[in-house]
């Protein structure tokens, strides 16, 4: 069917990463006609774009994966404890082939505009190539960390070397051999890439604004015995993920860090440090709710940094002081702090001496100049709202999403926005996704959206739309939830939009826990989509 120049479908999904691929699979099973529009040249989303050296997932491979197909999770073999970017991309390509997804994915199409047409009740989408699509349902699967944040440092355009952002890495790779490299940023990405670049580069200068806590990953090969155990127990593992706060299948200790002796606490932290990974957060129940409890973990990590880094002045610069552990997304690493013991690595504290400009041949701070051949910006993303606002989204009556969110995002359950009917946002702001193991949240969001669309068909509804009241109530609930935690104490967190100059400071993810969130979503659905305005078909 054609509507003017547009290709007409039941649903258009934007993005072909973990979220868009599964959304396509679910909508197809409902018999809907669907196109997925993807800016990249292949599937994978985050794992298509983030090809920087050392790119790896911080969740463990056996559960950073889809759970919807028992055959899929039984047949796929992971090779490492933490999957490297190429392996995850191989996995997602395998999924695309196995479920024959590609025939409905259109690559190399960046959606620039989505406008609700009041006459037809359809969303009209336009791509950068001028193609048009029209659909009843407009579903965003654009990711949370996909809009690159490149700092506007004066002089960048005059730099005669090469510069890169980690989230837009050249597919052919970059050879740093014999080159003087600067890395700006010490978030999860910087912390993964710094040790790998240091091994190649002639010299590496790290420009650090905020020192970070990091836990050793302790990566290693996937042991066959462990793989067998996981595959025999997938049901229980998946259940545990769904019943958890963060979507990881960890046993979280029920004890307070303050309920045990100092000696016992130390032994618990030592064991977790040795075991490695994000599970460190699960050592005690109250690390994110009690500052006093958190201090014990933060101090333990600070001591580890001082022990690891030989030069005391460098160690002091690397010791985080401005935020409690895990109030910013905690990185995990392989030899991150050890890297500062290398002769070819220099740490520059740009909080102390800010970057003033980039010159033809390097970076100049307020106190020194650093000649460089390459600059790597590991400076993160315009998180959550960035990729949505990159599309010109206009609801009925021409109201723009940009205008609605001018003081920060507002959503109902992170899945819908009042004033934007039949638009669904997978992993939108207001959902817990970025505080969780991403595929776990994604599967829940996609299933909920697919069930909602099925319900609409069963009840002959043409439109579904969150009410302003439901949206306000969700915002208040989310606000209460985050204030029961220490998360608001991290003033420089991307959760708050603080990494992007001029962005409204609003805590964007839902911090009430994944299991609580899921329960709420299920209750809303069971009550016939409470909080949504439902318009019957004409």
Contact positions vs ligand NA7 (CB under 6 A):
145, 151, 184-190, 207, 209-210, 329, 350, 378-380, 492, 494, 499
**In angstroms, what is the minimal distance from the CB of 260 to ligand NA7?**
30
Shortest separation between residue 147's beta carbon and ligand NA7, angstroms:
12
Q: Which is nearer to ligand NA7, 121 or 151 (CB)?
A: 151
Alpha carbon distance 124, 519 (integer Å): 33
Nearest distance in Å: CB 456, ligand NA7: 33
C-alpha 218/C-alpha 195 separation (Å) is 14
Output the smallest distance, CB 379 to ligand NA7, in A.
Answer: 4
Our CB check for ligand NA7 shows the closer of 265 and 329 to be 329
Cβ proximity to ligand NA7, 419 vs 497, nearer residue = 497
Give Dmax over CA atoms of the chain in angstroms: 73
Report in angstroms how near the CB of residue 444 gets to ligand NA7 at its nearest: 18
The residue with tokens 């333990």 is: 300
Pairing of strands 215-216, 332-333: parallel
| Least distance from ligand NA7 to the Cβ atom of residue 228, Å | 30
Residues in contact with 150: Cβ distance below 8 Å, sequence separation at least 6, in sequence order: 165, 377, 379
Q: How far apart are the first and last CA of the chain?
A: 20
Q: How far is the CB of 211 from ligand NA7 (least distance, A)?
A: 9
Between 69 and 219, whose beta carbon lies closer to ligand NA7?
219
- Strand 111-117 versus strand 392-394 pairing type: parallel
* Distance (Å, whole) CA 32 – CA 177: 51
Q: Write out the two tokens for 493.
A: 């967190």
Of 59 and 124, nearer to ligand NA7 (C-beta) is 59
Tell me the C-alpha distance between 473 and 237, whole Å: 33
Nearest to 82 by CA among 107, 64, 102, 70: 64
Residue 64's nearest CA partner among 231, 184, 307, 238 is 238
Q: How far is the CB of 490 from ligand NA7 (least distance, A)?
A: 9
Min separation Cβ 187 and ligand NA7, Å: 2
Q: Tell me the residue length of the chain.
A: 538
Q: Which of 449, 451, 435, 421 is nearest to 384 (CA)?
A: 435
Our measurement of the distance from residue 185's CA atom to the centroid of its chain's CA atoms, rounded to an integer in Å, reads 17
Give whichever of 329 and 503 is closer to ligand NA7, judged by the CB atom. 329
Write out the DSSP string of 292-349: HHHHHHHHHHHHHHHHH-SSHHHHHHHS--SS-TTSSPPPEESSHHHHTTSTTEEEEE
**C-beta of 73 vs 499, nearer to ligand NA7:** 499
Q: Is 235 exposed, middle or buried (0-12, 13-18, 19+ CB in 10 A)?
A: exposed
- The least distance separating ligand NA7 from the CB of residue 210, rounded to whole angstroms, comes to 3
CB of 365 to ligand NA7, least distance (A): 10
Smallest gap from Cβ 531 to ligand NA7, in A, equals: 29
Angle CA 239–448–125, to nearest 5 = 140
- In 3D space, the residue among 391, 441, 396 whose CA is nearest the CA of residue 418 turns out to be 396
When CB distances to ligand NA7 are compared, the closest residue is 187
Cβ proximity to ligand NA7, 239 vs 351, nearer residue = 351
- Helix, strand, or coil (residue 358): strand
C-beta closer to ligand NA7: residue 189 or 518: 189
Beta strands in 81-130 (DSSP E): 105-106, 111-117, 122-127
Q: At 121, list the tokens.
A: 């009740």
Instruction: Work out how close the CB of 190 gets to ligand NA7 at its nearest, in angstroms, rounded to a whole number.
Output: 6
CA angle 289, 294, 297 (to 5 degrees): 145
| Nearer of residues 124 and 339 to ligand NA7, judged by Cβ | 339
Choose between 207 and 405: whose C-beta lies nearer to ligand NA7. 207
| Spatial CA neighbour of 42 closest among 87, 96, 78 | 96
Shorter beta-carbon distance to ligand NA7: residue 26 or 51: 51
């Amino acid at each position: 069917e054609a509507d003017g120049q547009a290709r007409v479908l039941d649903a258009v999904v934007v993005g072909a990463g973990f979220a868009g691929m599964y959304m396509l699979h679910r909508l197809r099973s409902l018999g809907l006609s669907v196109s997925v529009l993807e800016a990249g040249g292949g599937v994978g989303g985050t794992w298509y774009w983030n090809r920087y050296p050392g790119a790896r997932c911080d969740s463990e491979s056996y559960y950073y994966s889809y759970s919807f197909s028992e055959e899929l999770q039984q047949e796929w073999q992971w090779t490492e404890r933490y999957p490297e970017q190429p392996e995850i991309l191989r996995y997602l390509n395998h999924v695309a082939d196995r479920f024959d997804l590609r025939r409905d994915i259109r690559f190399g199409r960046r959606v620039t505009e989505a406008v609700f047409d009041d006459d037809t009740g359809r969303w009209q989408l336009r791509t950068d190539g001028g193609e048009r699509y029209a659909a009843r349902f407009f579903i965003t699967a654009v990711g949370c960390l996909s809009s690159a944040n490149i700092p506007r440092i004066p002089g960048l355009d005059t730099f005669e070397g090469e510069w890169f952002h980690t989230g837009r890495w050249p597919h052919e790779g970059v050879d740093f051999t014999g080159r003087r490299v600067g890395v700006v940023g010490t978030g999860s990405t910087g912390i993964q890439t710094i040790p790998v670049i240091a091994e190649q580069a002639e010299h590496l200068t790290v420009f650090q604004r905020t020192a970070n806590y990091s836990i050793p990953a302790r990566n290693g090969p996937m042991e066959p015995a462990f793989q067998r155990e996981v595959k025999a127990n997938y049901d229980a593992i998946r259940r545990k993920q769904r019943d958890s706060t963060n979507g990881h299948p960890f046993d979280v200790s029920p004890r307070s860090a303050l309920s045990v002796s100092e000696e016992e606490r130390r032994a618990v932290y030592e064991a977790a440090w040795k075991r490695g990974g994000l599970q460190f957060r699960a050592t005690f129940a109250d690390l994110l709710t009690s500052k006093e409890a958190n201090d014990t973990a933060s101090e333990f990590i600070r001591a580890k940094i001082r022990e690891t880094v030989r030069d005391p002045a460098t160690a002091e610069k690397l010791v985080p002081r401005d935020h409690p552990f895990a109030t910013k997304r905690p990185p995990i690493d392989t030899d991150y702090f050890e890297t500062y013991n290398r002769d070819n690595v220099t740490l520059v504290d740009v909080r102390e001496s800010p970057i003033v400009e980039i010159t033809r041949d390097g970076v100049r701070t307020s106190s020194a100049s650093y000649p460089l051949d390459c600059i790597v910006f590991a400076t993160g993303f315009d998180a959550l709202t960035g990729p949505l606002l990159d599309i010109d989204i206009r609801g009925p009556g021409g109201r723009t999403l940009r205008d609605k969110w001018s003081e920060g995002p507002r959503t109902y359950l992170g899945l819908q926005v009042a004033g934007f009917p039949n638009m669904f946002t997978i992993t939108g702001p207001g959902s817990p996704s970025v505080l969780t193991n991403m595929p776990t949240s994604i599967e829940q969001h996609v299933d909920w959206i697919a069930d909602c669309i099925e319900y609409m068909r069963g009840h002959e509804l043409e439109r579904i739309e969150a009410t302003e009241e439901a949206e306000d109530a969700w915002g208040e609930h989310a606000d209460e939830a985050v204030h029961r935690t220490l998360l608001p104490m991290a003033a420089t967190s991307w959760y708050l939009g603080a990494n992007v100059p001029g962005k409204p400071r609003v805590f964007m993810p839902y911090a009430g826990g994944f299991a609580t969130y899921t329960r709420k979503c299920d209750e809303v659905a069971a009550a016939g989509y409470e909080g949504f305005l439902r318009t019957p078909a004409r």
